[in-house]
Amino acid sequence: MNLPGYQNMAKSCISLILFFSVILSHGVVELQASNPFYRNLYTSQSTSTSQPYRTGYHFQPPKNWMNDPNGPMIYKGIYHLFYQYNPKGAVWGNIVWGHSTSTDLINWTPHDAAIYPTQPSDINGCWSGSATMLPGGKPAILYTGIDPDNKQVQNLAVPKNLSDSYLREWVKSPRNPLMAPTATNHINASFFRDPTTAWLGPDKRWRVIIGSQTKDKGLAFLYRSKDFVYWTKAKHPLHSENHSGMWECPDFFPVSTNSRKGVDTSIIGLNTKHVLKASVGKIPHDCYIIGTYNVTADKFIPEEGSMNGVSALTYDYGKFYASKTFFDIAKNRRILLGWINESSTQEDDIKKGWSGLQAIPRGLWLDKSGKQLVQWPIPEVEKLRAKKVNLSSKLLRGKSLLPADVEISFEITKFEKAEVLDPNWTNPQLLCSQKGASVKGALGPFGLLVLASKNLKEYTAVFFRIFKNKNKYAVLMCSDQNRSSLNNDNDKTTYGAFLDVDPVHETLSLRSLIDHSIVESFGGGGKACITARVYPTLAIDDEAHLYAFNYGTEKINVTSLSAWSMKTAQIN
Ligand code: DQQ
């Protein structure tokens, strides 16, 4: 079955009063223990219509500001998420480590803040950092503290009580800070932060990298330690790149070359490659480079690519930043967590009393091409799937299917009329902005309209376009937020990515996790991810509809379509 054009679709929508509609005409479808200020940080907040943008299954604290995920780990079968949190308001500031735990990475229980300013070495803030499992299964956290002179320094905290699987209390090292800018090490005290999970070399020395910048060069300083307390800066950074600016929240980990299974951070060897990721503030995106790690020389040797520029490999081409992975030893997988910030104004954030979400945790592995990573929502999220709608009927209807999880696959049989990709069209985001969802093409735009009002005055379009590129075809994936809300104060930037899928021989798939004010989309089975934040004024709750569409001149087959409404997760 092919899909009807936009205008026809609009007419169809108006005539159909459905909570959920898929119009298909051609269908085959976050030491210290007891500072009372940092206790009871949370009072519950309702998710009533006065709060239409709070999520049903994406992690967020009950109120206030949240940014980077910190120190994710699994300890005694309990997953821990710490996060940058402002206990005093909905804007960034007063940063402490919020803390929640989970048995499935989807349902979360809140705890008191785990790490908050108590020492000179973190008196002005406890910024991002990571957890490392020391021998004997003892967790240790390295994090950035802001000292009395506003210098960025690195600190250590360890659990007060190892028999508490919830790791509720943390003790800071009396030797903090362990790593600091000095008169002789040439480190800029404003650009020295976000230690990674440490890895152990065959020489029994720990290594950790810290994000930094020298002039316009982004870099990852390397430190080594025998005891996790005394750290020495290596002569050379692990890696650096001119003109890439500050590298925030670096991450460095091995991936298997022959399996989707995760690899422990300290494994260096056969059948692995290494990934270096940096949150490049000036873009701002989480970019990564695939390469090999020579532990003897302590050098990362990139295969190709960069941390900057339009062709940089990026975890997510929409809103997704300061991410971090951890090795889930219970399920032999590497999990990626990332912060999704708001697209609304600061005034609106203050009014609603909160700001910031976490993406659904994603499994992450090396694609079989060896040239890029693949990400996919952890299967645990599927437990929230409730009512299912699938291809069995031409016109699909049900009660409100929002929040939702939607998977759709497309098949293209005729490519003759595909537009030719201009060699100057190298920037996919720009191309998506120029050729938004309402610009008719040949093979596309086709995809999903989500969080759409009945009259299509509001919708977010996640779609594909196919171009002829020499002897092959290029697939563009876009998320167009232009019509996402009648409120024009929001950032409605259009996002885009080229998707490494051969549409002649492969099915083109799209999955979108739709949750009130977030649309997290995965193209080509997770080869390209785009996350958007949107704030509809009409398409709220039962008035939010979902459509499949094709606004290209050529026929597109929908080979499968499954959509589930999602149960509400316990989120703090
Ligand atoms: N957020 C933290 C920093 C990090 C930045 C401060 C990235 O440690 O560099 O809240 O979002």
Count of other CB atoms within 10 angstroms of residue 434: 12
Domains and their CATH numbers in the chain: 2-25+386-566 (2.60.120.560), 64-341 (2.115.10.20)
CA distance 81 to 141: 12
322 lines ligand 1 (CB under 6 A): yes
Residue nearest to atom 5 of ligand 1 (CA): 248
Cα 94 to middle of ligand 1, angstroms: 12
Count of other CB atoms within 10 angstroms of residue 15: 8
Look up 251 and say whether it is catalytic: no
206 in Cβ contact with 200 (< 8 Å) = yes
Q: Which residue out of 68, 122, 405, 480 is catalytically annotated?
A: 68
Inter-CA distances, 531 with 341, 511, 560, Å: 10, 11, 22
Helical H runs in 270-407?
346-352
**The pair of three-digit structure tokens given for residue 113, joined into one six-digit string:** 């803040």
Name the residue of 126, 128, 280 whose CB sits within 8 Å of the most ligand 1 atoms, as the mutation to test its pocket: 128
Element (H, E) at 338: strand 333-340
CA distance 160 to 528: 41
Cα 146 to middle of ligand 1, angstroms: 11
* DSSP letter assigned to residue 262: B
**What is the Cα gyration radius of the chain?**
24
95 lines ligand 1 (CB under 6 A): yes
CA distance 140 to 230: 14
Cα 140 to middle of ligand 1, angstroms: 19
Query: CB-based contacts of 324: which residues, under 8 Å, 6+ apart?
Result: 68, 69, 70, 72, 130, 249, 251, 336, 337, 338
CA distance 521 to 532: 8
152 lines ligand 1 (CB under 6 A): no
Cα 150 to middle of ligand 1, angstroms: 14
Burial class (CB within 10 angstroms; exposed 0-12, middle 13-18, buried 19+) of 168: middle
CA distance 514 to 406: 8
Helical H runs in 221-285?
none
Element (H, E) at 6: helix 6-15
CA distance 72 to 102: 11
71 in Cβ contact with 128 (< 8 Å) = no
160 in Cβ contact with 171 (< 8 Å) = yes
Going residue by residue through the chain (572 aa), what tens digit of pLDDT does each one get? Answer: 333 333 333 333 222 222 233 333 222 331 222 333 444 443 334 444 579 999 999 999 999 999 999 999 999 999 999 999 999 999 999 999 999 999 999 999 999 999 999 999 999 999 999 999 999 999 999 999 999 999 999 999 999 999 999 999 999 999 999 999 999 999 999 999 999 999 999 999 999 999 999 999 999 999 999 999 999 999 999 999 999 999 999 999 999 999 999 999 999 988 999 999 999 999 999 999 999 999 999 999 999 999 988 889 999 999 999 999 999 999 999 999 999 999 999 999 999 999 999 999 999 999 999 999 999 999 999 999 998 876 543 333 333 457 899 999 999 999 999 999 999 999 999 999 999 999 999 999 999 999 999 889 999 999 999 999 999 999 999 999 999 999 999 999 999 999 999 999 999 999 999 999 999 999 999 999 999 999 999 999 889 989 999 999 999 999 999 999 999 999 97
84 lines ligand 1 (CB under 6 A): yes
Q: Which amino acid is at 468?
A: K
Query: CB-based contacts of 80: which residues, under 8 Å, 6+ apart?
Result: 71, 72, 73, 74, 99, 100, 101, 131, 167
127 lines ligand 1 (CB under 6 A): yes
Residue nearest to atom 10 of ligand 1 (CA): 127
144 lines ligand 1 (CB under 6 A): yes
194 lines ligand 1 (CB under 6 A): yes
278 lines ligand 1 (CB under 6 A): no
Count of other CB atoms within 10 angstroms of residue 303: 12
Cα 541 to middle of ligand 1, angstroms: 33
Name the residue of 188, 193, 221 whose CB sits within 8 Å of the most ligand 1 atoms, as the mutation to test its pocket: 193
Q: Which atom of ligand 1 is closest in space to residue 144's alpha carbon?
A: 8
Residue nearest to atom 6 of ligand 1 (CA): 127
Residue 182 Ramachandran class (φ > 0 left, ψ -120 to 50 alpha, else beta): beta
67 lines ligand 1 (CB under 6 A): yes
458 lines ligand 1 (CB under 6 A): no
Cα 350 to middle of ligand 1, angstroms: 20
443 in Cβ contact with 412 (< 8 Å) = yes
CA distance 63 to 301: 43
450 in Cβ contact with 406 (< 8 Å) = yes
Q: Which amino acid is at 438?
A: S
For 428, the 3-state DSSP assignment is helix
CA distance 351 to 348: 5
CA distance 363 to 154: 29
Query: CB-based contacts of 347: which residues, under 8 Å, 6+ apart?
Result: none
Q: Which atom of ligand 1 is closest in space to residue 193's alpha carbon?
A: 8
**Element counts in the chain: helices (H) and strands (E):** 3, 39
Residue nearest to atom 9 of ligand 1 (CA): 248
